[in-house]
Structure 1
Amino acid sequence: MDHPTSASRHGRLDSLLKHGESKLLVIVFSQVRVPAGKFGLERLFAKTRHNCLFLNDTGSDWYLGLEHAIDAALSAAMGEVSPERMIYYGSSMGGYGALLTGLRRQDGDTHAFGPELRLGRSGYQSTAYEIDANDQRLVDFKSLAETYSHELNLYFGCFDAVDAAGAIAANELLPKARRHLLRSTHANHDHLYSLNIIRRLIRTFERDPARELASKQLNCDITANDLRAFGDLGEALASDAVVDPADITELEAFQANPGLMRLAAETYARAGDLDKALETMEKAEALVESDPVLQGLPKRWRKQLPLQRVNWFFKAGQTEMARQLLTETLERFPADEAMLTLAKQLSLGSTASK
């Protein structure tokens, strides 16, 4: 059965309301790079019975300053579907939008995957989109959370330095939140989808996320000290500070965390120790490939590990090694623009076109 939809635009905010049969209204915030007229996660939620309000900040400005536009879209949607319950939902930039709006409005539960709680820091995606840490539109999450009475679920991938920092910030700013620390990356929503967790959660929004995550061995056993160190060291490396690889390799979580291994490999490379960099990155790859849960990590993250080794071989003048590894990588993962560029530089045009 087809359900009516209605679209509108408020400045840089696009919205689309899809009518459903349940009593839920799910407000779904798009991630970055979703073009105007399109909406993140639209196909996912199209398979549910829920009323869905899709929102997209077409300026990729982290939904800052869009309070009035969001409220107008919500008021119109609520007038049409009269929901009994509301859910704010999003990943990455969308996770920030969901968290920001859920805390501000305080009229529904929130599920935010990989939100950056402190925007504009070195190595953060928000910084790449020119969000400043001192932007006057930023809000005080801690004060908003003091009166928040709904369920707040935050999902962080412990293989990502920014997510690790977010998990620590959440503990300080949002102590009432349910923090889900995952054996995953920043793109943990995609990872959870591949393991059928997302579809089970969103079907009714009545399942316990912690129980679902535990059923797939996704919980990450990592100390607050290691999370904080990972976030700090990742930010330091992104700001071109000198990082001692030992500060990473001596962390308790290092041997079970391919994200920490990747960070250590990059510090070895910066220090000019190519052999150690290659060895450590290859160790991270082996860990991912040996674990059934980690094999479900998004391919766009997994392929960055061998591709970094290709680049290191290439820069070191070990062209044949670079060619061989890139050929193997192209056989395992879909080619993207960076891979095709590398292939051209290494004279692998015919292989890359397969």
Structure 2
Amino acid sequence: MTLTRPSAFGVYIHWPFCLSKCPYCDFNSHVRHGGVDQARYVAAYLREMQTMAERTGPREVTTVFFGGGTPSLMQPETVAAILDGIGRYWSVSRDVEVTLEANPTSVEAERFRGFRTAGVNRVSLGVQSLDDASLKALGRLHSAEEALKAVAIARSVFDRYSFDLIYARPGQTPDDWAKELRRAIAEAAEHLSLYQLTIEAETPFFALRQSGKLSIPDDDTARDLYDMTQEVCAAAGLNAYEISNHARDGAECRHNLVYWRGDDYVGIGPGAHGRIEQDGRRYATATERRPESWLMRVEGFGHGLVVDEALTREERADEYLLMGLRLAEGIDPQRYAALSGRPLDAKRIAILRDEGAVETTAEGYLRVTQAAFPILDAVVADLAA
């Protein structure tokens, strides 16, 4: 990986609406019981795209990702109109990856063929658990049976699909998790995203934990669950290419690699983030989070940006370090030096290597060892100091 390698270019579309708010979720998602004027939002997405395309200039889109919220609540016609807009304002790679996040409810699964016709070629299902009691505790609106039916529909409609599971749930043991994970792998073609439950501030789960009404596995048990995850997935040929993502070789989510490798991407929609090159500088962008406020901003100004900042060399390098070390492939130290204007501290690297926390690959990349992934933040902080 060098600064001169061909760069990917992604478009992220944020659809912020959900049927309900999960108690663990701190994403920018909103419930609107009165419905959503999808035609009005489509017009705003297209307007914001036009503004951002004027900034990026001609680029070839290699990945598109519909995230949320719950993008599977969109009508297929809405998805098609947005994809048509992307093709209008940029060129699109012939092998573009177009991912849409979906809830595995029967109602949303019925839209899968429509999404495929619209241009989606990869779906990511928020299954979260294959245990009904856990699904209820997580605030999910589907059962395990319904989720597996949705996975089967996805398998029949899309060549590529993935689904998410949450582990380190209250009361979960490594043996319980291993059984659930093996069942999931039997249903997964090529990719699984496996996230440890974290308690985020300003969520209902945070309040429950503060009041002593919710407990999650302690650090030792969480580590055992993590180790079990790696063992079971590796045995099934689903290697961890990123700290929480497992895939067969060649089946990695290409859009997420755009983030982790430090490539450019445009963020469109309420609360969407982006990173774009303009006039030799890299800009961090973010839009207004509240959907109605974003809508009014776009209709008035052509965009909903509330953050639009040129990153310093140090910020760019730190971001590359933070994101790139999440990957099993690691980072290119030469690229880090080119971004920051200074090399990584060789003495720090030597100490971390002696401690078994980092290693250098045959290609010269620096990466965090599998054993040290659970303490990734500490390793990154040490290298960035």
TM range (shorter): 0.3 to 0.5
Given the two structures, how large is their TM-score scaled by the length of structure 1? Answer: 0.32
More helix by share: 1
Larger relative contact order (Cα-Cα within 8 Å, sequence gap ≥ 6) = 2
More strand by share: 2
Given the two structures, how large is their TM-score scaled by the length of structure 2? Answer: 0.30
